[in-house]
């Protein structure tokens, strides 16, 4: 193609080199505070100002918003601090909750993203032997909250 353009090929090549030389490289990295420890319950407990168990009562999706998911929650149990009975939260596409689902939230505000941990939660798992992974983290949350493992 450079041969077909004759002298213009060198000029285009020069402009491309100039554009690459003056353009700033753009890169994005998604990092959360304590990224490597983000899924450890103790780390999230220590670094979250809000820890509560809530049931999702209503949900809305507004695709034009920065945080397109909105939920109205009923607080079932508040570990850090005492929370209101109802709470509205906003979330990005990494936070998608099921209506009627019960979750434990580790947060610092009512806006959630991929840096926040949200886990399914049910105290009844403490009494079950068939779901040991869930039993372990529900027990750990209750232990961190200073509560016994029995409901």
Q: What is the pLDDT of residue 105?
A: 92
CATH code at 37-144: 2.40.50.120
Taking the chain (151 residues) in consecutive chunks of 10 residues, what is each chunk's mean pLDDT? 48 52 48 65 88 94 90 91 81 88 91 86 80 80 77 46
Question: How many DSSP H helices and E strands does the chain contain?
Answer: 4, 6
Distance CA(96)–CA(118), nearest Å, equals 10
What is the spatial order of strands in the sheet that 69-80 belongs to?
A: 111-112, 86-91, 69-80, 50-61, 102-107, 117-120
Q: What is the pLDDT of residue 140?
A: 87
Q: In this structure, are strands 86-91 and 111-112 parallel, antiparallel, or unpaired?
A: parallel
pLDDT digits 0-9 by tens, 60-85: 999 888 889 999 999 998 988 876 78
Q: Are 103 and 117 in contact (CB under 8 A)?
A: no
Can you point out the beta strands (E) in 12-122? 50-61, 69-80, 86-91, 102-107, 111-112, 117-120
Q: What is the DSSP letter of 146?
A: T
Q: What is the DSSP letter of 130?
A: S
Q: What is the pLDDT of residue 3?
A: 46
Distance CA(60)–CA(97), nearest Å, equals 11
């Amino acid at each position: 193609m450079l041969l077909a353009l004759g002298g213009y090929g060198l000029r285009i090549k020069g402009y491309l080199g100039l554009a690459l030389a003056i353009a700033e490289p753009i890169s994005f990295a998604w990092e959360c505070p304590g990224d490597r420890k983000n899924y450890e319950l103790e780390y999230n407990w220590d670094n979250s100002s809000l820890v509560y168990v809530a049931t999702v009562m209503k949900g809305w999706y507004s695709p034009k918003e920065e945080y397109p998911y909105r939920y109205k929650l009923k607080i079932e149990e508040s570990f850090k601090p005492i929370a209101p009975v109802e709470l509205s939260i906003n979330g990005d596409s990494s936070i998608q909750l099921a209506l009627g689902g019960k979750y434990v939230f580790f947060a610092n505000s009512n806006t959630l993203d991929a840096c926040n941990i949200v886990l399914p939660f049910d105290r009844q798992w403490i009494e079950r032997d068939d779901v040991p992974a869930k039993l372990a983290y529900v027990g750990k949350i209750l232990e961190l909250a200073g509560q016994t493992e029995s409901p």
